[in-house]
Chain A
Amino acid sequence: MIHLTTKQVLQFVDGTLDYASQAQCTNHLAVCAQCRSEVEFQKTLAKVSRRQPTVQPSGQFASRVMGRVFPQKRKTVASTILDNLGNVFAMFVVLTVVGYAIANPSLFTPQDRPAQPSVLSQTIAATYGKIVQSFAERTKDATQTVVSTSTNDSSRVISMTIMTLLILIVLDQFVLKRYTGMKMKH
């Protein structure tokens, strides 16, 4: 009996024989135990070979690739200042408004009618007044001027400051960051 060649066995296992050769091999395998066991053995080898352990790259491999794809640019002093320009500007605006309001309390008092602060601003002003007063008592310095400001004036100043801060936060979070994010993508 002529047995299947190694090549025929492997092609039979892979299913890459043409139709006629496949039929011929199938007929032979039906009557030849030796070739049948050879086919089974090659099937097993193929199955085990597919399970061979793969080699893992070391930890954080993807991060390292991404680090090389997008290398971090070293920040210059100028770029650091530019990056923080928004914060510096916000601080400047807040301090200017607060300072101006403290220095000129009369500007925030309506001339035609007496001020009628809301409950919330009254509460905030009272708390703020207490804090400033206790601080002034301890230091006894120029902050005495602030204490002397009326409660109504203080509440307006605080309300304005809070409003300014809120506007700046909204501007920073939802407008500037969004804009710069879009710029980065392009």
Chain B
Amino acid sequence: MQDQDFAIIQRVIGGEKKAYAELVDRHKEKAMTLAFKMLKNREDAEEALQDAFIRAFNALPRFEWKSSFSTWFYRIVFNVCASALSKRGNDHPVSFQANDEEETALEVASQEPLPDIALESSELSTIVFEEIEKLPEAYGPTFTLFFVQDMTYEEIVQVTGLPLGTVKTRLFRARALLRDAVVKRIGSSQEGTRQEKVA
């Protein structure tokens, strides 16, 4: 992946500017997912993504390969989306800034017992995807970068500029919330099925 990015970037810097379209095609989908997760609006996300690609193109000659292209590029996407959010003002108050987040809840074992679930079922996937959408906005980008972009904690730190501890805490809290929400959904769904059978 990185080798291919490197080869394309070398071509672009070498004068074959049109090769940049290949780079756009390679990263547009995952970057769009991140932008959409932050802005919650398709048009705004697409506009922000276009801006990010143009900024990246202009900054490409100064890119020093201290990180992978994707990490560097997602940082641009993140910043463009964050400034788009700040322009929205108070209508969409979302803070991606670091704050003192409690970790105590994560220091205890989960109290809610696991229901009897059919793992890998498509129903489970649907429930998980729906519950991911319901996660608090501040957790969305971290969660997406970790699972969709497949980034490490350290790469997420580079993209978001958040401290490592905050990244870990947000990720753990998001996953704990997701776990509880999915367990609750499956539990209520099974309860409903049981009642139907009794009736």
Q: How many residues of B contact A (CB 8 A)?
A: 51
Assembly CA distance A82 to B49 (angstroms):
37
B139 close to chain A: CB less than 8 A: no
Q: How many residues of A contact B (CB 8 A)?
A: 40
In the bound complex, do residue A49 and residue B124 qualify as a contact, i.e. CB atoms below 8 Å apart? no
B91 close to chain A: CB less than 8 A: no
A52 close to chain B: CB less than 8 A: yes
Report the nearest B residue to A46, measured CB to CB. B147
In the bound complex, do residue A42 and residue B179 qualify as a contact, i.e. CB atoms below 8 Å apart? yes
User: Contacts A41-B114, A55-B32: A48 and B128 contacting too (C-beta < 8 A)?
Assistant: yes
In the bound complex, do residue A57 and residue B110 qualify as a contact, i.e. CB atoms below 8 Å apart? no
A58 close to chain B: CB less than 8 A: yes
B5 close to chain A: CB less than 8 A: no
Q: Determine how close the nearest CB of chain B comes to the CB of A180; give it in whole angstroms.
A: 15
User: Contacts A48-B125, A62-B24: A56 and B105 contacting too (C-beta < 8 A)?
Assistant: no
In the bound complex, do residue B129 and residue A57 qualify as a contact, i.e. CB atoms below 8 Å apart? no
Q: Which of A16, A57, A70 has the most CB of B within 10 A?
A: A57
In the bound complex, do residue B103 and residue A7 qualify as a contact, i.e. CB atoms below 8 Å apart? yes
Assembly CA distance A99 to B120 (angstroms):
83
Q: Which 6 residue pairs of A and B lie closest in terms of their CB atoms, listed nearest first?
A: A3-B109, A7-B106, A49-B147, A62-B24, A55-B36, A54-B33
